[in-house]
Chains A and B, each alone.
Chain A
Amino acid sequence: GQNIDQPTEMTATEGAIVQINCTYQTSGFNGLFWYQQHAGEAPTFLSYNVLDGLEEKGRFSSFLSRSKGYSYLLLKELQMKDSASYLCAALDSNYQLIWGAGTKLIIKP
């Protein structure tokens, strides 16, 4: 079956760095997405990786290892506004998004 695993909840301190991991098992693979979702709001696009390696975009970076079925989202210089759920989603061979349950990130001052 198809499956996405990510931690349910993580806590970090303002100004610090946090890494949110995601492992996936899908029928074929056409890329991996990370979305941010604040409570009560719709998800917003953060990143897309289809090739191995690290892609940096400001304070956020996303990494992919296709051979390991693994990705992580790295958030640096954490701000209180980064408190949100972070959703990992993999695109399978039919171009269907398989969603993880999301990781709730709590930022403490």
Chain B
Amino acid sequence: GAVVSQHPSRVICKSGTSVKIECRSLDFQATTMFWYRQFPKKSLMLMATSNEGSKATYEQGVEKDKFLINHASLTLSTLTVTSAHPEDSSFYICSASEMGLAGAAGDLETQYFGPGTRLLVL
């Protein structure tokens, strides 16, 4: 199956610093990558949808200038949390969809998730 990696898996930083999280599709090309945030015992909250070579589409209520997303290639998207504050502490998960795959129904739409990044801002 498709593999998505995320780095780092865990990060602790001081308030006011910026943190960059990388999401890579290892064995497939991803037209679209998604960034989610998850609070304890809550479902995934979609933050933004990222398409290679174009600007990300942010969900309502998500600050574009605070959560910078760059989808530089078909295998890499990055999320930068700028000037992080304790309330930004969360579990950030990326997912990727394969492009142009002629296979079983659902192949194009199935999202494969990275392992997540746990961010703690002190």
Interface residues of A (CB under 8 A from B): 30-31, 33, 35, 40-45, 48, 50-51, 87, 91, 95-97, 99-102, 104
Contact present for A41 and B116 (CB under 8 Å): yes
| B115 adjacent to A31 (CB under 8 Å) | no
With known contacts A87-B43, A99-B44, A100-B43, A43–B106 Cβ distance under 8 A: no
* Other-chain contact of B115, A35, A42, A96, A101 (Cβ < 8 Å): A42
By beta carbon, the residue of chain A nearest B104 is A48
Distance (Å) between the CB of A79 and the closest chain B CB? 21
B109 and A42 contacting across the interface, CB-CB below 8 Å:
no
Q: Which of A31, A42, A87, A101 has the most CB of B within 10 A?
A: A42
Given contacts A42-B93, A99-B43, A100-B43, contact A31 B109 (CB under 8 A): yes
Q: Provide the residues of chain A in CB contact with B111, threshold 8 Å.
A: 33, 45, 97
- Give every chain A residue within 8 A of B114 (Cβ-Cβ): 42
- Inter-chain CA distance A51–B114, complex, in Å, is 28
**A48 CB, nearest partner CB in chain B, Å:** 3
Q: Which 4 A-B pairs have the closest CB atoms?
A: A48-B106, A42-B113, A101-B43, A42-B116
Given A42-B93, A42-B116, verify A102-B109 contact (CB < 8 Å).
no
B113 touches A44 (CB 8 A): yes
B109 adjacent to A101 (CB under 8 Å): no
- A43 and B42: CB pair below 8 A? no
In-complex Cβ contact of B43 among A30, A95, A96, A102 (8 A): A102
Pairs across A and B, CB under 8 Å, 21 listed: A30-B109, A31-B105, A31-B106, A31-B109, A40-B118, A42-B95, A42-B114, A43-B113, A45-B112, A45-B113, A48-B105, A48-B106, A51-B105, A87-B44, A91-B109, A95-B109, A96-B49, A97-B34, A97-B46, A101-B42, A104-B41
Task: Give the distance in Å from the alpha carbon of A43 to the alpha carbon of B95 in the complex.
Answer: 9
Which of B34, B110, B112 counts the most chain A CB atoms within 10 A? B110
A42-B93, A87-B43 known; A48-B110 Cβ under 8 A: yes
- How far apart sit A91 and B97, CA to CA, in the bound complex (Å)? 13
